Amino acid sequence: MFLRTILNTAHRMVYPFLSVFARGLGVDISTMSLLMTARSLLGTTSPLFAPIADRRGRRFGMLVGISVFTLGVGLVAVYPSIWTLAAALLLGMVGKYMFDPAMQAYFGDRIPYHQRGTALAVTEMAWSMAFIAGVPAVGFLINGFGWSAPFPIFAALGLLIFFIIWRIIPREDPHHEPTSNSRDGYRAVFTSIPALAGISIALWASAANEMINIIFGVWLEDSFGLKIIALAGASAVIGISELSGEGLVALTTDRLGKPLALTIGLVGNALASILLPIIGQTQTGALVGLFLFYITFEYVMVSHIPLMTELVPSARATVLSLNVTGHALGRALGAFLAAFIYQQFGFLFVALTAVLFNAAGLLALRRMQKEK
């Protein structure tokens, strides 16, 4: 959880400070939105790397992912520019998408399915801790030292993560039998209707979330004139909501069953999307709406992961990486649509589009249950 908090902070800091990065680089919001779209699309390459964790071991996959991340943020630390920022975002995405499936497979190998929801929920608390502690810290750094100030810190922390993983994860892994052929893993996933339906749930839910992710900082700044420190505070509110969602998963998902928990999360997120523009007429209402939106989305995501770990056990890291591809495609779709819809039609239509994406996720879940 601690190590992933660092990675997730680097990943998430762009969202609330999208306008700040754009001003610092002398580009407009649309340019940054396209850059975020490219970052998400690059995540679709994760299946090219994920079999590394099935073939070479979970430890090796995690170490390679951290190395790629550290290289990316190190480029901005050395020479801050739009091009190095683009490289950092793209390499950071590849590194994270190599690290996360390897880490989740590592726990999936060791923890019984009936307890896996609780265990993975603890590791997923890194998402909320990034917004509670990491993003506010980044906000203070940017406010005091400029937009590029966090990157040298992340480069040093990347080296720290590499050292810790190298020391604490054993070289020999009796819980995992390495595969000899990546094609068998791909074949097992692509011939499984439940697995494909599960991956599409990731796509639709992430598309809904990215619609709000991309725009909420711009929306708060446009509506209420919030500045850097206030936006960092808004991020902390979102982080608290996500921590609450992860806590609910830890308490309820294994008891309710993963499919029912996922249904509750998708319906709740759709309702929160509808509510957000209605109660977001005031600053307090907007923050309450964001709290509800992010707590329900986090409930979806953290309930979804343990369900995916058991759909194709023989190719666990591969199916988890393809699940990451679903998230990446969803984020790319949301990032591509968000700025255009917001600028042309306003925040209400951004929220309504998120509702439609959640409805598609519910249909995919129904298909998964029908085929299992």
Q: Where are the domains of the chain?
A: 2-169+179-371
Range 351-357 average pLDDT = 94
CATH class of the domain defined by 2-169+179-371: mainly alpha
CA pair distance 365, 359, nearest whole angstrom: 10
Q: What is the pLDDT of residues 204-258, one digit of tens each?
A: 999 999 998 888 777 877 777 766 667 667 767 777 887 888 788 778 878 888 8
Q: What is the pLDDT of residues 251-303, one digit of tens each?
A: 887 888 888 989 999 999 999 999 988 988 888 888 888 889 988 988 898 88
Q: What is the pLDDT of residues 295-341, one digit of tens each?
A: 898 889 888 988 888 888 777 778 888 888 888 889 889 988 988 89
Q: Where are the alpha helices (DSSP H) in the chain?
A: 2-12, 18-25, 29-42, 46-49, 51-55, 58-78, 82-110, 113-129, 135-145, 150-168, 182-190, 193-224, 228-256, 258-279, 283-309, 316-345, 347-371
- Full-model pTM: 0.72
